[in-house]
């Protein structure tokens, strides 16, 4: 077996930084800390540089860093962030589990993947690790990666001072022997005693008599060491993604504008994309709920939440595309009240097709680009304002088509109207109304020059049933510059609508 460990040492801080809607760009430079029971539980590098350390009292930390952004530690928030990493990992292997932290008071921060059977699919360990990092990157977490033949060994290496990759038992022993012993779960209780005994590495600990270790520190220590070194079985129960997706994000400060909401929603969309990848599925749409500040709800005109539904013509799990559509919708939305919490849910999940390895663009890929363009225009302008021409069963050119709201899912598909192949060439650009033309010797003129007739006549006689009779003979003509024109003249020389008319131009 080959296990990969993804250790997220700053998971709690990064999950909290994501709640700083619209201000996370400066979160890396701003001092941030989390408190638990009025004591500092975690602090970022900027806060540590000012003297803030875990274990300090809240008042001491604020005295050292007056501009400290202080948030409350939240196990549920950390679990939601870790679940997104699990979903990203499930896209590479079904054997994914979470390593329990050494200190039970802390949230889990390590994800384990068994990838031996997946190496061939992804081109080997190096390629798989590269793609795994790319999959986790949109979630906004810094990870430390290690690999080993045992799950606990990989987790310890990832938590160590220098993450390593050990692909056989001998390399694993050498790598583990160099680790400090307090990385073990037993180290939380016995770390000070080991330090007093001069045990600086796991190798020092293993060289002691096993019976003495078990008698003084308990049999659980020996069992943990044996599992890490592969000398005892370590079965793990694989996780599975939930059948539906719903994720929420409580904002640290209220969001008054669309840009702040979009920044926070980008993380939820990244989580949605990770869940869809784990399901090997695509979404036809999603719903974003914007839950407003309670003190505004006294006004009966202010709803408790605003629901924003985004439907996709073509199923997708591309977070960049989903974010573009959401941006267009949000820019048209006027928030009735400040937003304090976002909740994203997905609906109409469909199985995803295998990725295409085409070298050159195909008709399907070109159609996908057109569909995405129409989706974006509809999100920005509204569905009714984006229209397409639909063919109608009428021989009169001005009545042979109609504008209707675009349906991106049907773009590129053959309609049920008149088959284009059975009609003579038609120009796309029609003049409304047709432009009368002068004539000389029975030949039409344009700009004082005689037009050369290339083909025709094509006789159209229709409309007697609705009292808009059209009796015309159409010709294709060429002007002096070589442009093709569509002309007609009345079928009866002395009848209504007689004379020459310019009705269209060929592109």
Domains of the chain and CATH, by start = 3-30+67-229 (no CATH), 246-353 (3.30.1490.100), 376-420 (no CATH), 424-505 (no CATH)
Reported confidence tier of residue 163, pLDDT bands at 50, 70, 90: low
- Average pLDDT of the chain is 84
**For range 412-440, the mean pLDDT:** 69
What per-residue confidence (pLDDT) applies to 296?
54
pTM: 0.72
- pLDDT of residue 256 exceeding 70, the answer is yes
- pLDDT of residue 96 exceeding 50, the answer is yes
What per-residue confidence (pLDDT) applies to 328?
83
In sign, the C-alpha dihedral spanning 401, 405, 408, 409 is negative
User: How many Cβ atoms sit within 10 Å of the Cβ of residue 200?
Assistant: 14
**For range 258-270, the mean pLDDT:** 88
Reported confidence tier of residue 25, pLDDT bands at 50, 70, 90: very low
Lowest mean pLDDT among 6-20, 97-111, 233-247: 97-111
H/E stretch holding 156: helix 151-159
**For range 153-168, the mean pLDDT:** 88
- pLDDT of residue 411 exceeding 60, the answer is no
Lowest mean pLDDT among 80-84, 87-91, 158-162: 158-162
Determine the 3-state secondary structure of 70 from DSSP: strand
C-alpha distances in Å from residue 29, one per residue of 25, 44, 144: 9, 9, 21
What per-residue confidence (pLDDT) applies to 298?
57
Burial of 338 (0-12, 13-18, 19+ CB in 10 A): middle
What per-residue confidence (pLDDT) applies to 397?
84
C-alpha distances in Å from residue 429, one per residue of 114, 471, 481: 61, 21, 18
What per-residue confidence (pLDDT) applies to 410?
58
**Sheet of 144-148: strands edge to edge?**
96-99, 110-114, 3-7, 144-148
Higher pLDDT, 368 or 205: 205
Q: Please, are residues 394 and 469 in contact by the beta-carbon 8 Å criterion?
A: no
Reported confidence tier of residue 12, pLDDT bands at 50, 70, 90: very high
What per-residue confidence (pLDDT) applies to 399?
78
- pLDDT of residue 471 exceeding 80, the answer is yes
Long-range contacts, stretch 37-43, CB < 8 angstroms, 24+ apart:
41/12, 41/73, 42/10, 42/12, 42/13, 42/73, 43/13
Q: Please, are residues 227 and 234 in contact by the beta-carbon 8 Å criterion?
A: yes
- pLDDT of residue 250 exceeding 70, the answer is yes
Lowest mean pLDDT among 21-35, 126-140, 248-262: 21-35
Reported confidence tier of residue 334, pLDDT bands at 50, 70, 90: confident
- Give the DSSP letter of residue 91: T
Highest mean pLDDT (candidates 217-231, 247-261, 374-388): 217-231
Determine the 3-state secondary structure of 207 from DSSP: coil
Place of tokens 């559509």: 325
What per-residue confidence (pLDDT) applies to 447?
83
Lowest mean pLDDT among 315-319, 365-369, 481-485: 365-369
Q: Please write the tens of the pLDDT for every residue from 46-70.
A: 999 999 999 999 999 999 999 999 9
Q: Which residues are registered as beta bridge partners of 472?
A: 460, 490
- pLDDT of residue 284 exceeding 80, the answer is yes
First-to-final CA distance of the chain: 64
In the chain, pLDDT over 70 holds for what percent of residues? 88
């Amino acid at each position: 077996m080959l296990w990969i460990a993804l250790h997220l040492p700053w998971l709690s801080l990064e999950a909290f930084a994501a709640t700083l809607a619209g201000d996370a760009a400066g979160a890396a430079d701003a001092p941030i800390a989390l408190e638990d029971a009025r004591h500092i539980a975690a602090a970022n590098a900027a806060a540590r540089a000012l003297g803030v350390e875990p274990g300090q009292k809240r008042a001491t930390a604020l005295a050292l860093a007056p501009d400290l952004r202080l948030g409350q530690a939240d196990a549920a928030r950390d679990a939601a962030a870790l679940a997104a990493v699990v979903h990203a990992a499930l896209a590479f292997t079904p054997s994914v589990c979470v390593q329990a932290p050494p200190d039970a008071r802390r949230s889990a921060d390590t994800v384990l993947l068994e990838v031996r059977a997946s190496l061939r699919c992804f081109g080997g360990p190096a390629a798989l690790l590269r793609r795994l990092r790319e999959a986790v990157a949109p979630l906004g977490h810094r990870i430390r990666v290690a690999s080993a033949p045992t799950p606990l060994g990989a987790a310890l290496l990832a938590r160590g001072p220098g993450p390593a990759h050990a692909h056989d038992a001998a390399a694993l022993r050498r790598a583990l022997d160099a680790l400090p012993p307090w990385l073990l779960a037993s180290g939380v209780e016995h770390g000070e005693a080991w330090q007093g005994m001069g045990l600086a590495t796991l190798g020092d600990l293993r060289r002691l008599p096993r019976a003495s270790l078990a008698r003084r520190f308990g049999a659980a220590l020996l069992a943990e060491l044996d599992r890490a070194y592969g000398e005892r079985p370590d079965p793990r129960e694989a996780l599975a993604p939930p059948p539906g997706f719903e994720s929420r994000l409580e904002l640290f400060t209220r969001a008054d504008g669309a840009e702040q909401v979009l920044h926070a929603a980008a993380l939820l969309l990244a989580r949605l994309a990770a869940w869809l990848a784990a399901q090997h599925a695509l979404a036809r749409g999603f719903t974003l709920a914007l839950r407003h500040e309670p003190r505004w709800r006294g006004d009966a005109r202010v709803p408790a939440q605003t629901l924003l539904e985004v439907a996709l013509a073509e199923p997708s799990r591309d977070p960049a595309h989903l974010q573009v559509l959401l941006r267009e919708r949000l820019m048209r939305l006027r928030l009735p009240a400040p937003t304090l919490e976002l909740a994203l849910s997905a609906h109409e999940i469909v199985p995803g097709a295998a990725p295409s390895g085409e070298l050159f663009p195909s008709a399907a890929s070109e159609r996908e680009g057109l569909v995405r363009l129409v989706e974006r225009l509809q999100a920005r302008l509204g569905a009714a304002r984006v229209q397409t021409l639909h063919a109608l069963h009428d021989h009169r050119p001005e009545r042979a088509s109609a504008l209707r709201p675009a349906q991106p899912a049907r773009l590129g598909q053959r309609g049920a109207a008149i088959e284009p192949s059975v009609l003579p060439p038609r120009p796309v650009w029609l003049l409304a109304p047709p432009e009368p033309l002068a004539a000389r010797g029975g030949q039409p003129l344009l700009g004082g020059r005689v037009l050369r007739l290339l083909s025709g006549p094509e006789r159209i006689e229709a409309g007697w049933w609705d009292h808009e009779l059209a009796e015309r003979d159409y010709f294709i003509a060429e002007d002096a510059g070589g442009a093709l024109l569509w002309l007609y003249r009345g079928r009866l020389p002395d009848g209504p609508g007689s004379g020459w008319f310019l009705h269209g131009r060929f592109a």
